[in-house]
Amino acid sequence: MPVLRVVPNLYILCSLFWEQRRTRMFDSEIRLLELCSNKDFGVREILNTLRGSHTSNMRLIKELERSGVLELIRSLNGRGRPKKIVALSPLGAVVLDKLRSVNAMMLKMNENDIRNVDKQLRLWHKLIDAGVDPYKRFIEMNEFDRNIRNFAESGTST
């Protein structure tokens, strides 16, 4: 009997960790910006370092250059044809910082959360149909919760 109980629990635990996994976003953008912030890489070096096709990575470099995140600087050092360095612009430094923090966030949602949003939305529409201002109702709900919180903290409500 205890063995039978452990199996569903293991399943629940696995699904819990799966749901709580860190979901990586903007992977290629971050990789590209990280490369540019670390070292003076030329376009070819970047294309050879990044994963994915050269065409799509080149498109990404151009796109980020157009939006002012990257700058292509002509390097005059050395002999031969001047090298184009892909550098981070001041805006790019800010964007990289923001992307890092977004990437570190956990995705706090599963299918049931989405179903619940749908349920709350249907309730929202029902309120509108009944002539009740949903925003006012929302504020009232918050006031109700605040009163419970105040009671829990001090034994009295406001």
Partner 1 sequence: MTAISETLRNLVQVLERLHVDYMLIGGHALPMYGRPRSTIDIDIAIAMKLPQPMQLEAELENAGFQVSSFSEETAYFVVTDTKAFVEVEVWLRPDGITIDAECLSRRKKVKIEDFDFWIIGPEDFIVNKLSRRDRRVQDEVDVLSVLRNTRLKLDIPYLHKIAERAGILLLLRAFEKKARVSD
Interface with partner 1 (CB under 8 A): 5-6, 8-10, 12-13, 16, 19-20, 108-110, 112-113, 115-116, 119-120, 123-124, 126-127, 130, 132, 134, 137-138, 140-149, 151-152, 156-157
Helix (H) or strand (E) holding 71: strand 70-75
Min dist. Cβ of residue 104 to partner 1 (A) = 14
Burial state string for 73-101 with b = 16 or more CB within 10 A and e = fewer than 16: eeeeeeeeeebebbebbeebeebbeebee
CB nearer partner 1, residue 49 or residue 147: 147
CB nearer partner 1, residue 63 or residue 113: 113
Which tokens sit at 5? 């109980």
Min dist. Cβ of residue 61 to partner 1 (A) = 36
CB nearer partner 1, residue 9 or residue 38: 9
Min dist. Cβ of residue 135 to partner 1 (A) = 11
CB nearer partner 1, residue 98 or residue 149: 149
Kindly write down the DSSP assignment for every residue of 81-132, as one continuous string: SPEEEEEE-HHHHHHHHHHHHHHHS-----HHHHHHHHHHHHHHHHHHHTT-
Min dist. Cβ of residue 134 to partner 1 (A) = 8
CB nearer partner 1, residue 34 or residue 145: 145
Min dist. Cβ of residue 24 to partner 1 (A) = 17
Comparing C-alpha atoms, which of 92, 79, 81 is closest to residue 33? 92
